[in-house]
């Protein structure tokens, strides 16, 4: 589970996150939406330990981000816009490398399993740079879940994907998300966001403006709420 309290992040004079309070229960899938510049990427990067918060508390699976950062990394998988994959290496070699970096115990079998999960076992021994973007993103997900993290973070994973690839990606995420993981995903796509998550939240102007269970609203209702909160924040 993820607990965020009073999270502040500023870059010099620019305050991006102004006190974020958010909780994602264990096993829940939360979609975070918001306009550009709201701080979605900043927030998720702090959770992924890639960025440091200016102040506030973050607990991931009970571990405090400020002190137990290496423990958190063992339990967190991160998928971002960039694939974090080595283009000249094959999926097999990429996963083997990451598996070693994460001390994955039954690496050989595990690689087999995740490649099958993402539907890439056929291209196992071809260099990643020959893959389409959609395939690379699927492999990125394989990399992210390789070490069996209890928390999965996704930063707009459908960026740059065509309709078909997006469809595949979301199907994949639906299955991956149901393995008992806590998932936090940011996206621009309101429709998908509502469909995928157990809960949705809106991040606007550096704060959580609104949060709800997915069943509480239909798409139209949600769009309305979204534009209400987000409408005036264009800089």
Partner 1 sequence: MRIGFLHKILAIVHKDIIAELRTKEMFSSMFVFALLVIVIFNFAFELRVANIRQVAPGVLWVTFTFAGILGLNRSFILEKDRGCLEGLLLAPVDRSAIYFGKMLGNLLFMSVVEAIVLPIFWVLFNPPLFSPALIPVIVLGTVGFAGVGTLFSAIAVHTRAREVMLPILLFPIVVPLMIAAVKITGGLLDGQPLAEMRHWLNLLVGFDVIFLAVSYMTFDYVVEE
Partner 2 sequence: MNTRSFAATGVLNGIAALAMLVALYLALVYAPPAANLVGAAQIAQRIFYFHVPSAWVGFLAFFVTFVASIAYLWKGGRQWDVLAFSSVEIGLVFTSMVVTTGPLWAKPTWGVWWVWSDPKLSTVAVLWLIYFAYLMLRNTVEDEARRARLAAVLGIVGFLDVPIVFGAVRWWGQSVAHPIVFGTGGLRHSPRMLTAFLFCLGAFTLLYVVLLIQRLRLEGMRHEVERLKSQGFTL
Question: Does 207 sit near partner 2 (CB under 8 A)?
Answer: no
Sheet bearing 29-33, strands edge to edge: 76-79, 151-155, 182-187, 29-33, 199-204, 207-213
The partner in contact with residue 205, picked from partner 1, partner 2, none with C-beta cut-offs of 5 to 8 angstroms by kind, is partner 2
Nearer of residues 11 and 227 to partner 2, judged by Cβ? 11
Min. distance of Cβ 101 from partner 1 in angstroms? 4
Question: Does 181 sit near partner 2 (CB under 8 A)?
Answer: no
Nearer of residues 8 and 113 to partner 2, judged by Cβ? 8
The partner in contact with residue 163, picked from partner 2, partner 1, none with C-beta cut-offs of 5 to 8 angstroms by kind, is none
Question: Does 180 sit near partner 2 (CB under 8 A)?
Answer: no
Which listed residue (12, 13, 103, 232) binds partner 1 by CB under 8 A? 103
The partner in contact with residue 50, picked from partner 1, partner 2, none with C-beta cut-offs of 5 to 8 angstroms by kind, is partner 1
| Piece in contact with partner 2 (CB under 8 A), picked from 12-20, 61-69, 120-128, 155-163 | 12-20
Angle at 175 between CA 48 and CA 146, to 5 degrees: 45
| Piece in contact with partner 2 (CB under 8 A), picked from 7-15, 68-76, 85-93, 196-204 | 7-15
Q: How many CB atoms lie within 10 A of CB 223?
A: 14
DSSP 146: T
Question: Does 227 sit near partner 2 (CB under 8 A)?
Answer: no
Question: Does 52 sit near partner 1 (CB under 8 A)?
Answer: yes
Min. distance of Cβ 53 from partner 2 in angstroms? 13
Min. distance of Cβ 12 from partner 2 in angstroms? 5
Applying CB under 8 A, which residues contact partner 2?
Answer: 11-15, 205, 233, 235
């Amino acid at each position: 589970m993820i607990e965020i309290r009073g999270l502040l992040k500023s870059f010099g004079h620019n305050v991006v996150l102004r006190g974020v309070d958010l909780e994602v229960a264990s096993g829940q899938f939360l979609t975070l939406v918001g306009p550009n510049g709201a701080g979605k990427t900043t927030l998720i990067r702090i959770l992924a330990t890639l960025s440091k918060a200016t102040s506030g508390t973050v607990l991931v699976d009970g571990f405090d981000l400020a002190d137990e950062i290496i423990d958190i990394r063992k339990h967190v998988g991160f998928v971002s816009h960039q694939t974090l994959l080595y283009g000249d290496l094959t999926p097999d070699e990429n996963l083997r490398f990451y598996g070693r970096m994460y001390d994955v115990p039954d690496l050989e079998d595990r690689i087999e399993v995740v490649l099958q999960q993402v539907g890439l076992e056929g291209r196992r021994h071809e260099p990643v740079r020959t893959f389409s973007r959609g395939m690379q993103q699927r492999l990125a997900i394989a990399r992210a879940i390789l070490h069996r993290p209890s928390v999965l973070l996704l930063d707009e994973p459908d960026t740059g994907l065509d309709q078909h690839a997006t469809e595949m990606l979301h199907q994949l995420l639906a299955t991956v998300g149901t393995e008992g993981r806590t998932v936090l995903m940011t996206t621009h796509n309101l429709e998908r966001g509502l469909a995928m998550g157990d809960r949705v939240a809106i991040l606007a102007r550096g704060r959580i403006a609104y949060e709800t269970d997915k069943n509480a609203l239909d798409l139209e209702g949600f769009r309305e709420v979204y534009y209400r909160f987000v409408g005036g924040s264009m800089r």
